[in-house]
């Protein structure tokens, strides 16, 4: 970008930086978010960005926090907690898939910015409303995040379907049960797996509170 196309001195804001970085992350993944690339997206110099963010690490954290903040939907208290948890899980999965690399960042760094903390607080509030105590809530919150983030990680890694046997012929002679289901093992979609895993979590919480 030529200097003629750059923003006027002092016109760059942190909000504009975040918008430019989010657009870049959505198109190319979180790995593309660098000071140089975001400066180009924002129509600014790298030095202009450094007046708002200390380094690439701080920039990525800023973007990750904005993504986490965007995930949190309004909690509708009049809806049953299982429905709230499903809505939240679907929103979170869709957002993680929309920003390649964000699931890995969330898993590795446990994003502790304000947006991520509000995300975690909302999930915990939904699970607590089922009637669990603090220890059980903490356990099922961890399971819930592991299911959603883990599912996105597998999908992003090209392993979104499951398991063994689904992609190659298998000799099932003498294995009647395996032979009966082997033709179907590769037909389960990532969406099917996600919804089934989510149902298992919800039913396990329900069983613990009944």
Residue 38, domain CATH = 1.10.10.60
Same domain, 203 and 107: yes
Once rounded to an integer, what is the mean pLDDT over residues 73-84? 81
What does pTM read for this prediction?
0.79
What's the pLDDT tens digit per position in 140-175? 999 999 999 888 888 877 765 555 554 556 778 899
Same domain, 101 and 3: no
Same domain, 125 and 190: yes
Reduced 3-state DSSP string for 35-95 = HHHHHHHHCCCHHHHHCCCCCHHHHHHHHHHHHHHHHCCCCCCCCCHHHHHHHHHHHHHHH
Domain span at residue 78 reads 61-209
What's the pLDDT tens digit per position in 6-48? 444 457 898 899 999 999 988 998 888 999 999 999 999 999 9
Residue 132, domain CATH = 1.10.357.10
């Amino acid at each position: 970008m030529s200097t003629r196309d750059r923003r006027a001195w002092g016109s760059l804001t942190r909000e504009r930086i975040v918008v430019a970085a989010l657009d870049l992350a959505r198109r190319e993944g979180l790995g593309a978010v660098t000071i140089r690339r975001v400066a180009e997206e924002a129509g600014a110099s790298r030095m202009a960005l450094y007046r708002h963010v200390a380094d690439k690490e701080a920039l990525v954290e800023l973007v990750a926090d904005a993504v986490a903040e965007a995930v949190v939907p309004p909690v509708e208290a009049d809806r049953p907690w299982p429905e709230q948890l499903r809505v939240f899980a679907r929103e979170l999965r869709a957002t993680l898939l929309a920003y390649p690399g964000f699931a890995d960042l969330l898993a590795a760094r446990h994003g502790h910015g304000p947006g991520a903390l509000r995300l975690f607080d909302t999930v915990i509030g939904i699970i607590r409303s089922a009637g669990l105590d603090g220890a059980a809530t903490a356990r099922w919150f961890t399971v819930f995040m592991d299911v959603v983030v883990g599912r996105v990680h597998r999908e992003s890694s090209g392993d979104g379907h499951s398991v063994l046997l689904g992609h190659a012929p298998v000799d099932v002679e003498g294995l009647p049960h395996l032979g009966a289901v082997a033709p179907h093992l590769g037909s389960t979609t990532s969406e099917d797996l996600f919804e089934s895993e989510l149902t298992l979590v919800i039913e396990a919480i329900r069983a613990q509170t009944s």
